[in-house]
Each structure stands twice: as C-alpha cells, then as structure tokens.
Amino acid sequence: MMGDLAIFVAHDSADVWAHQDLFLLDNTGRPTVVAGVPPDYFSETGQRWGNPIYRWDALAADGYRWWIARVRQALQLQDFLRLDHFRGFEAYWEIPGEAETAVSGHWEPGPGEALFTAIRDALGDVPFVAEDLGVITPEVVALRKRLKLPGMRVLQFGFGSDASNGFLPHNYTRNTVVYTGTHDNDTTRGWFASLAPSERDHALEYLRSTERDIVWDMIRAAETSVANVAILPLQDPLELGSDARMNYPSKPEGNWAWRCPPDLLTPAVAARLAELVTLYGRAADVTQQHSDE
C-alpha cells in the first residue's frame, strides 16, 4: 500500500492547534504566510493552498521530532510513502496570508537534506517516493539523487515536444515510478480526446498506436519501461472518459466524487492486466526493487 504524505498540513488541524510554535502564525493563530505553487500548466494564477508554513528553524532546533513522529505513524498504515510536493523540501512557494492568489508569492529555502538525515537516523531507510513534478530545478534533482529516492514520471506529459522529453519512457532510469496519469490528470481516454492535433499525432506515432487502442498502448508503455514501479489509475484499464476524472487542481469543489461501479471490474479486464504484468515481470513482490543511481 502506497500512502500520500503531504508536505503541509491544514490550518484547521490538530497538528497546528497543538504545535502553534512550529508554524508561522500571528498572535491570533492565523497564518501570516501560506503555501501554494506559482502559475503553471494547471492555473494562470497559481494555486493558493492556504496551508500554514512551518517554522523550519524551530523544527530543526527540536531535531525534527514532529516530522519523525508523523512519518513513524504513517508507516503504521502504509508500506510506501509518496512525498507530495517534494520540491518544497528544497524550496517552497510562500504567499502572503492576505493574498487571494498565488501570484505574489516567492521562493523560500526548504529544510533540504537535514530533515531526511534526521528521519533516517531515527527510523532507518524509509521507503519514500519523491513526487518531483512541476517547477523542478537542478537543485531539486540533486537533492532527490543524494537521498537516492525514486522520482515520478507521467506518460501524459511526454508528448508534444521532442525526444529529449523526460516523461518519455526511453529517458527513464530504473529508480522511477511511472504513471499513465495521476489523480490530478484527466483519464487517458479523456486526455487523448482533448489533445491538440500535433500532440495526438506524436502520441500515436511514438506508441505505434491507434485512437481505438491508445489507452492500452499507454498502459503497455508504462509496463514495458525500465521504471521499477508502474501505477495505473483504475479508470485507464476500464477505458473511461473525462466524466470519471478524480481531481481538478485549483478547482475547490466537485472533486473526488467518482466511484467505480462494481460491474466494470470484469474478469476480462483482470485477465488483460494479469497478462501484461506477468509478461513484463511486474508480478513479483514490489518491495524487491533495485536502483541504478
């Protein structure tokens, strides 16, 4: 089981209430600055998440005990931990608390390697996966490599440029987790239907596919890649369209409403998936992974 360990926590949470000295709050307990991301592919005004920012100096002075306790508890529930917004551990987007959008934010340095050294010293080698999507700098890549953490590759991001695109399978390394799409993406069927003609042609040519077979050819590309782990949103093996999308980044309502009708989970779909994971050696224990970095 892979869990999602968000870098930030909600303002209206037991963590912030009980540890107000570890967050940048005013004397009434409200955040003076909040987290988010700058303008990007998903939003012209960025994303103002509203989470309070840590006082990293206070956390460091305490030996990162709060973070160690948080990771220890997460490991009671999950086998692997996906570090959401990994780039924020190198540098994060800080937004004034009164700002309505993320446009006026700026970058601030994160805790870097020191946090992970403290976690490792306390808990050993934790099975982290780095969510290294978005505005990724050489410094973020260097941090991930020093920590020897697998990064993420999303097939849907691979098309429309050239052969050097890092999301295309021929550019992967083994220490990688590949997704056809994530919870933030449209389903592969919906994504393909919305592509510009040039991107659609590139995808069909690269995958040697047809419009009818594009979803399963994307799945096959993930399974055949050298990435140690391949993850498929359930909507893709079921070949569902945009009405089955899980989440729209920056959209505050209407997310996470999709539920899988049980009659879609047919033996035929299971058999097709079983054939692929067996054919490409992915039926073995997922914990038996090796890195080439």
Per-residue pLDDT tens over the stretch 243-281: 999 999 768 788 999 999 999 999 999 999 999 999 999
Pairwise CA distance, residues 105 & 64, whole Å: 26
- pLDDT digit string, tens, across residues 164-204: 999 999 999 999 999 999 999 999 999 999 999 999 999 99
Compute the average pLDDT of residues 48-65. 97
The reported pLDDT for the residue numbered 285 is 52
Q: Which of 90, 131, 223, 239 is catalytic?
A: 131
Pairwise CA distance, residues 233 & 82, whole Å: 15
84 is known as an active-site residue: yes
Residue 284, classified by CB atoms within 10 Å of its CB into exposed (0-12), middle (13-18) or buried (19+), is exposed
Reply yes or no on whether the pLDDT at 288 is more than 80.
no
Pairwise CA distance, residues 147 & 153, whole Å: 18
Q: Which of 62, 84, 213, 217 is catalytic?
A: 84
Beta strand pairing call for 80-84 and 128-130: parallel
Q: Which of 15, 40, 113, 184 is catalytic?
A: 184
Are 40 and 72 contacting, i.e. CB atoms less than 8 angstroms apart? no
The reported pLDDT for the residue numbered 43 is 81
Half-sphere exposure of 252 (CA within 13 A, CB side): 4
